[in-house]
Chains A and B, each alone.
Chain A
Amino acid sequence: MKISPRSWRWLPVVVATAVALAACGSGSDSGDSGSGGAKKITFWLSTAAQIQGYTDLAKEFEAKEGVKVEVVNQPYDGYQDKLRQSAQANSLPDVASVPSLDSLWINKLQDLSATANNETNKIRKDLVTEQDGKVLAIPSDLTAAGLFINKSLFTKAGVSFPTDPEKAWTWDEFLAAASKVRTATKAKYDLVYDNSPARIRAFIYNNGGKGFQLGDDGKYQKPDDATIAALAKFKAMNDDKVMPKSVWTSGADPNALFKSGQVVAYFSGVWQVPDFAEGITSFEWASVPVPGPVQATDINLGGKVVAFDNGDAAAPAKKWVDFIFQKDNYTKLAQSNGYLSVESGLTLAYPFKAKAALDAFALYNKSIEIADPISASGQAAGTKLILEGKAIQEDPTKAEMAKFINGEQDVQKTVENIVNGLNSQLS
């Protein structure tokens, strides 16, 4: 009996699909060192905001240099992995704004000293990533941790708050004020605090601690007593009256809690400002100085701009980086993207319509200027390690603090576990 032709009808479809897919793949190729002299370079970044600032600059760059810049916005979740795998497939972009450097491709980076040392740019020297005189990365922007308050609640309770970082309050004064506001307005909590190792650093610095620092042997040291005291104080604050436990123990979203209008204050950072400007409509909010006694915060770098050495595209890639950081261009970029500037001495006119947002940015810029130098040490340690070929993939602080606040262990054990957890990733 012959096999009925009807049933085999599907086979050509299947084969055709497979062939089409294979053809789909091998045909195109992103032009990394493409058509002679590289008329096109790829620029990867990751932002949930607009890439308008970059695409505008790209148009100007094309008009000036005749090289097209393809701006690709990658999702943040998995971006670092994607860079790594692209390196393994020899398909790295030409320029990228990366969350952190990776020892896998660090040797493919070009030297950006010319841009970093350019006197007219005035890029803050302590922020660039340098190794053996070679500048590997320049940050596109800064981020800083900071305190937000529900201004409506404060006004309703008739409690005042400072606006000048040089005349700020201390944590104890702030907590007292917040409790007063809470009881007067029948709000639910005094404060919610971002669940993040970087954010808790600010609290430690404010209370005089030095946090988790790298020792001379290249390993993390046991922190000083002020740090331990600060962490214990933090735990005590998580009593479901001052702060809800659920944020640091079970990942509840502090942003959502603050937006509900039932929390007096929220400790997060500058990246919330554009979101608040648009997203908070049921009450008035404001940025206030970080409480002391030590006037410090956690300063981090936004994306780190690096240029890869991709054959033909290397020269235009370097030119693009240089173009971005030229004073006038960077001013435009920082304004439209809402960046805290890495170049000093710029006058920035942000396009925010909300006064609260404009005030917030002015406050952040001022706070960063007067912040204690320890503020940038967190990210500096991370960078130092990467340059040595090591990396902390996951900071155990979050998990250990969760256990600590949940009552599973005491502060000494917590600190010990954090130090051991960090050091175990360095070997």
Chain B
Amino acid sequence: MVDSIHPTAKAPSGVVPRGPQPARLRLPRWGKRRLNHYTAAPLVLISINLLLFVAFFAWPAVTGLLYSFTSYTGVGDAPYVGLDNYQRLLEDKAFYSALTRTLVFTAGVVPLTIVLSLGTAVLLVTNYTKGKAVARIIFFLPWLISPIIAGVIWRWMFGENFGLVNYVITSLGGSEIAWQSNANLSLIVVIVAAAWGGTAFNMLLFVAALKNVPTAYYEAAALDGAGSWAKFRHITLPAIAPTTFIVVLLSVLGSMKEYALVQAINAGGPGTANNLIVQYIFTKGFQRAQIGYASAASFVLLVVLMIIALVHLWYNRRKES
């Protein structure tokens, strides 16, 4: 494989080098713009998404935001109540416990999913493994399974009363484990199920990224006597850093919004111990026709997620420089 980013194949350092700076003497030709400053091209490129964003997200979202300042019930008029919904929300203990539970869930799922997806991606890309064709399908199938069916499957395995795992444990002489009556154990089951189902998505992103790393890097490192682990740490990880960034970000945002899978596995139980934030929005808001309240809670969630995203972006930019 030809390495053409640098004239000579040097053993790369830990950072993916950027290209040389653009030639300052050459003035670009069309449109009126400063050096390195284009307006027409990016505008055209983002136009489709911009239109869709405004029509199908921004406008409905603004409507939702306006509802959050009212006591709208889905029918009739929407009487203005100012910040009443937000006040009630921030005084509600159930909101905070749902939020913290969701953060705990996210803190459990995201690392597990990242490790598993990166691991499976590496295993599928490397030359050292045999039987990749079959493994590829097996890793992919869980992602296709809908949350309802996934709930049935995992409850069958970890059901407290007649589940497979408890059956095996009792057959071996142990005592049943309260997979559903114990809040933390129940959350662990959900975390494992979520990682199981979410692996394939991230795995595919990692595979595309791994395939993108020029093999010349690896060859050069091999010539220098680097072992597999060193190659992984110093070549692979930095090379796929942009993808890792987005995988982490999307996983965090996705798990913060988890609802269907939790519902299917333990219905937010036992009791309300595992009610996550979206379930809170549903039960306290939409299912009680409190559209205004639900909107307020959703926008608070948006602010939380935006903060998380910005922190992530800032941290990533710091890491790069």
B-binding residues in A (CB < 8 A): 84, 103-104, 188-189, 240, 244-246, 249-253, 257, 260, 262, 391, 393-394, 399, 402-403, 405-408, 421, 424-425
Residues of chain B contacted by A257 (CB below 8 angstroms) = 161-162
Residues of chain A contacted by B289 (CB below 8 angstroms) = 391, 393, 425
In contact, A251 and B287 (Cβ under 8 angstroms)? no
Q: How many A-B contacts at CB < 8 Å in the complex? A: 80
Interface-lining segment among B102-110, B240-248, B266-274, B308-316: B266-274
Measured between C-beta atoms, what is the minimum distance from B249 to chain A in Å?
Answer: 29
Measured between C-beta atoms, what is the minimum distance from A239 to chain B in Å?
Answer: 11
Docked complex Cα distance between A215 and B181 (Å): 37
Measured between C-beta atoms, what is the minimum distance from A79 to chain B in Å?
Answer: 15
Measured between C-beta atoms, what is the minimum distance from B225 to chain A in Å?
Answer: 44
Measured between C-beta atoms, what is the minimum distance from A93 to chain B in Å?
Answer: 20
Docked complex Cα distance between A73 and B161 (Å): 36
Choose among A103, A250, A260, A262 the residue that contacts B270 (Cβ–Cβ < 8 A): A250
B5 CB-CB contact with A under 8 Å: no
In contact, B288 and A253 (Cβ under 8 angstroms)? no
Q: Can you list 18 A-B pairs, Cβ within 8 angstroms, ordered by A?
A: A84-B74, A103-B75, A188-B162, A244-B160, A245-B181, A246-B159, A246-B160, A250-B181, A251-B263, A251-B266, A257-B161, A262-B161, A262-B162, A391-B289, A394-B288, A399-B283, A403-B271, A406-B270
Kindly list the 9 A-B residue pairs having the minimum CB-CB distance in the complex, ordered from nearest: A251-B267, A406-B271, A250-B269, A394-B287, A249-B270, A250-B180, A250-B266, A246-B180, A403-B271
Residues of chain B contacted by A84 (CB below 8 angstroms) = 74
Residues of chain A contacted by B263 (CB below 8 angstroms) = 251
Docked complex Cα distance between A251 and B160 (Å): 11
In contact, A252 and B288 (Cβ under 8 angstroms)? no
Choose among B74, B270, B273 the residue that contacts A245 (Cβ–Cβ < 8 A): B270
In contact, A250 and B272 (Cβ under 8 angstroms)? no
Measured between C-beta atoms, what is the minimum distance from B174 to chain A in Å?
Answer: 17
Docked complex Cα distance between A262 and B170 (Å): 16
CB-nearest residue of chain B to A244 = B161
Given contacts A421-B288, A424-B288, 20 further A-B contacts (CB under 8 A): A84-B74, A104-B74, A188-B162, A240-B181, A246-B270, A249-B181, A250-B186, A250-B267, A252-B159, A252-B180, A393-B286, A394-B288, A399-B283, A402-B267, A402-B270, A406-B270, A406-B273, A408-B272, A425-B288, A425-B290
Residues of chain A contacted by B162 (CB below 8 angstroms) = 188, 257, 260, 262
| 8 A Cβ contacts from B227-268 to A | 263, 266-268
In contact, A251 and B161 (Cβ under 8 angstroms)? no
CB-nearest residue of chain A to B182 = A250
In contact, A252 and B75 (Cβ under 8 angstroms)? no
Residues of chain B contacted by A103 (CB below 8 angstroms) = 75
| Residue of A84, A189, A391 with most chain B CB atoms under a 10 A cut-off | A391
In contact, B272 and A399 (Cβ under 8 angstroms)? yes
Residues of chain B contacted by A250 (CB below 8 angstroms) = 160, 180-181, 186, 266-267, 269-270
Asked if A249 meets B269 with Cβ closer than 8 Å, knowing A393-B287, A425-B288, A425-B289, the reply is yes
| 8 A Cβ contacts from B257-305 to A | 263, 266-273, 283, 286-290
In contact, B271 and A408 (Cβ under 8 angstroms)? yes
In contact, B181 and A246 (Cβ under 8 angstroms)? yes
Residues of chain B contacted by A402 (CB below 8 angstroms) = 267, 269-272
Docked complex Cα distance between A402 and B268 (Å): 10
| Residue of A240, A251, A257, A421 with most chain B CB atoms under a 10 A cut-off | A251
